[in-house]
Structure 1
Amino acid sequence: MGNKIRLGIIYGGKSSEHEVSLRTALSIINAVDPEKYEITPVHVQLDGTWVKGKPAAGQITHVEMLRLAESAAGTGMAEGALQQAGGGKAAPVLALGREVDVIFPVIHGPNGEDGTLQGLLELADIPYVGAGVLASAVGMDKWMMKNVFAQAGLPQVNYVGVLRSRLQSDLQGIVDQIERELGYPCFVKPANMGSSVGISKAKTPEELVNALQLAARFDRRIIVEQYVKARELEIGVLGNEQVITSVVGEVIAAKEFYDYEAKYKGAGTELQIPAQIPAHVAEGIREMAVKAFQAIDGSGLSRVDFFWNEENDRLYINEINTMPGFTPYSMYPMLFQAAGIGYAELIDRLVQLAIERHADKQQNIIAAEELD
């Protein structure tokens, strides 16, 4: 590496969280030290086209400048498409390794934090921030995640998995099963969406049918969870094999649950950091968060979410998010800010963790002949 770390930021993506990703990219660009980093923006447009901008430092001041297009009108940064949607021209993307030292991918949702982008970066042999292919895929798919958590002995609320194909052929059978095993109210979620997109709370059979049909529009795999009266608590994990945790925070949603509107448009939601909870609950959350992170083979960063039933003092793990919201006002950075690690330092640590993880992987031999 030269005097500066050449940091590529991949953002946007073909998902409902495109705008969130742009805001995250802008926050990172504005936070890093321009004397330490050379930033190369890479915009994945909504149609799937990849556009790489020229290296920039302190020149990107608002989100609109990040909407790189092949023409890059008004920005002067774009160098042309790296990959056309559906074109299968991955070679220029793989060539990014010659231009950057490490990638910070901040694409949320499918094709961003589900292992697909991570797999591309593995093929390109570029260090990247965050979880690897396996952990990203497991962390994205709530159904698989729950299976892994169960194997690790982590307590969870009861749930039922539903395939969209079965929904189309046996709707009444599914409703009967959910009523029998979970009851009302219950939560219905697409297995592979982030930011609470497509999630509904169902209190009646009619609402359950509508919720299942909505979730099926986003994914072929659906999770239905039993409702528990509980407080929503979250904690951040930072590290590779050796990890630290943040303070515990609490989400106090003004609506019935912490949905997309509450997360990104305010809607009266309050984040309490640190959460006002007993010490033994905070310690239990820390231990379970680390166990969950290790169970999926996490690396870099994760936010782990929990339910705490105050009445019977029971903790349930809800989910792990391997690429949590990462603006300065998102829960994950705020949790570490309260723990004494500011936003810019957090970015520095994540970049170094990415480089260390990549260097560790280079120790692997790829052929038996190398044993000689």
Structure 2
Amino acid sequence: MEKRTIGILFGGASSEHDVSLMSATSVLENIDREKYDVIMVGITRDGRWMRYTGDVKKLIDHSWEEDSGNLPAFLSPDRSVHGLVTVRDGQMEITRLDAVFPVMHGRFAEDGSMQGLCDLAGIPCVGPGVCSSAICMDKEYTHIVLDAAGIKTSDWFCVRKGEVPSLLDLEVKIAVKLGGFPVFVKPCNAGSSVGVSKVKTSDDLEEAMMLAFQHDQKILIERAMVGKEVEVAVMGNDSPEASVHVGEIVPKLEFYDYNSKYYDDTADLYLPARISDEETQLIRQTAVKAFKALGCRGLARVDFFLLPDGSCVLNEPNTLPGFTKISMYPKLFIDSGLSYPEIIDRLITLAIEAQ
């Protein structure tokens, strides 16, 4: 069978740049090179695109950026090109791509931006499309869609940077709408727990809001739920399926923060989760329902709180979840019987089928 040419994108001008480098390293080390010709494209923090042909191991320490073989490159929105344009010695070279896998997280990656560029170019892109990606990235709109679909989420309200109420008014609103403290304060458009704070008293509210506003022009204030943190992976297009098991996360700190997810051992992970079969099925079914309601395709990891009464509250969907060696999405489908290369292969195939 003829090899397909796949563009693997990594890095990006987002606060989750480093996570992308870790995820992309895992994908590049596991993609089936007998089946795919891989074109690596790195995007720096300041948004420069470069075609990279060096050692995959250089991604982690950022030394890939200094590789002497790097060449300026970009995805052309011209559909007749259908691929990557590389600039070499003042001349433009075209590499036709069968699909793009943006192994990137956060803004300009999973918010619909990259998906829109691929749509313009006519190139299949791994993961949900423009509208779904944008909705799932923006926590306010995620809540609106899930609420309309009858999927339970935590109580919430949104605050825009130019319309911040007084602290007294905020405290009243938190008491009335959220039942009081503790609450979570989050940027609406960020992932990997970047800019997120758990606020136990009004004394810490202003500082938490200032942190969240560093990452977005609007923030979400949510009721802090008391329950088990569980995650499930979903894969598919028209007939999506959830992973056989659910994963459970037990943070050793206040919550499952950025460092816990990617750098240290301040969380215990259980696979399968320590929950009943009935609770597992509830989580799996609700995840697939949310996947469809949000218009997802390809993949998503869906995070929940499982409450003491056996009900579940959807925390958030992730349309391009972490793919590091310890990330829950690949671990859940490996647990379901797929190898890491098979997971990558299925996601690429789903992207091409959805085109």
TM over 0.5: yes
User: Corresponding residue for 1:46?
Assistant: 45
How many Å apart are 1:181 and its aligned residue?
A: 2.1
| d(CA) in 2 for partners of 1:164, 1:315 | 31
Match for 1:282 among 280, 283, 297? 280
How many Å apart are 1:228 and its aligned residue?
A: 2.1
Relative distance call for 1:244 and 1:67 in structure 2 (3 A) is: farther
Q: Does residue 63 of structure 1 match 2:54?
A: no
Relative distance call for 1:267 and 1:327 in structure 2 (3 A) is: closer
| d(CA) in 2 for partners of 1:65, 1:80 | 21
TM-score, length-scaled by structure 2: 0.91
Q: Does residue 176 of structure 1 match 2:168?
A: no
User: Corresponding residue for 2:156?
Assistant: 159
User: Corresponding residue for 1:72?
Assistant: 67
User: Corresponding residue for 1:5?
Assistant: 4
How many Å apart are 1:95 and its aligned residue?
A: 4.3
| d(CA) in 1 for partners of 2:249, 2:256 | 8
How many Å apart are 1:232 and its aligned residue?
A: 0.3
Aligned partners of 2:183 and 2:200 also within 8 Å: yes
| d(CA) in 2 for partners of 1:94, 1:19 | 28
| d(CA) in 1 for partners of 2:292, 2:63 | 36
Aligned partners of 2:16 and 2:105 also within 8 Å: yes
Q: Return the letter of the residue paired with 1:273.
A: L
| Same amino acid, percent of matched pairs | 41
User: Corresponding residue for 1:308?
Assistant: 306
Aligned partners of 1:240 and 1:353 also within 8 Å: yes
Match for 2:249 among 248, 251, 261? 251
User: Corresponding residue for 1:291?
Assistant: 289
Aligned partners of 1:60 and 1:66 also within 8 Å: no
Q: Encode CA deviations 1:185-215: one digit per residue, 9 max, x unaligned.
A: 1111111000000110111111112111211
User: Corresponding residue for 1:363?
Assistant: none
| d(CA) in 1 for partners of 2:249, 2:316 | 14
| d(CA) in 2 for partners of 1:313, 1:82 | 49
| d(CA) in 2 for partners of 1:90, 1:238 | 28
Relative distance call for 1:65 and 1:269 in structure 2 (3 A) is: closer
SS at match of 2:56: coil
Within-5 A mapping of 1:123-202: 123-167=120-164, 170-182=166-178, 183-202=180-199
How many Å apart are 1:357 and its aligned residue?
A: 0.5
Q: Encode CA deviations 1:97-138: one digit per residue, 9 max, x unaligned.
A: 842111000110011000011101100110110010011001
| d(CA) in 2 for partners of 1:163, 1:333 | 35
Aligned partners of 2:82 and 2:97 also within 8 Å: no
| d(CA) in 2 for partners of 1:306, 1:258 | 12
How many Å apart are 1:17 and its aligned residue?
A: 1.2
| d(CA) in 2 for partners of 1:154, 1:348 | 31
Aligned partners of 2:252 and 2:267 also within 8 Å: yes
Q: Return the letter of the residue paired with 2:174.
A: I
User: Corresponding residue for 1:27?
Assistant: 26
How many Å apart are 1:143 and its aligned residue?
A: 0.6
Q: Does residue 341 of structure 1 match 2:345?
A: no
Q: Return the letter of the residue paired with 2:216.
A: D
Q: Return the letter of the residue paired with 1:159.
A: W
How many Å apart are 1:242 and its aligned residue?
A: 1.0
Q: Encode CA deviations 1:42-64: one digit per residue, 9 max, x unaligned.
A: 1111111111235x8xx534425
Relative distance call for 1:314 and 1:322 in structure 2 (3 A) is: same
| d(CA) in 1 for partners of 2:210, 2:78 | 39
User: Corresponding residue for 1:209?
Assistant: 206
Q: Return the letter of the residue paired with 1:187.
A: F
Q: List structure 1 runs of 4+ shifted beyond 4 angstroms.
A: 64-69, 89-95
- Gaps of at least 5 residues in structure 1 are 84-88, 359-372
How many Å apart are 1:229 and its aligned residue?
A: 1.2
| d(CA) in 1 for partners of 2:31, 2:166 | 53
Q: Return the letter of the residue paired with 1:186.
A: V
Task: Tell me the matched-pair count.
Answer: 343
SS at match of 2:280: helix
Q: Return the letter of the residue paired with 2:256.
A: Y
| d(CA) in 2 for partners of 1:316, 1:347 | 29
SS at match of 1:165: helix
User: Corresponding residue for 1:351?
Assistant: 348
| d(CA) in 1 for partners of 2:154, 2:72 | 48
Q: Which has the higher contact order (CA 8 A, sep 6+)?
A: 2
Q: Encode CA deviations 1:324-351: one digit per residue, 9 max, x unaligned.
A: 0012320100011111112110001001
Aligned partners of 1:49 and 1:82 also within 8 Å: no
How many Å apart are 1:265 and its aligned residue?
A: 1.6
Q: CA RMSD in A?
A: 2.1
User: Corresponding residue for 1:361?
Assistant: none
| d(CA) in 1 for partners of 2:341, 2:25 | 13
| d(CA) in 2 for partners of 1:200, 1:10 | 30
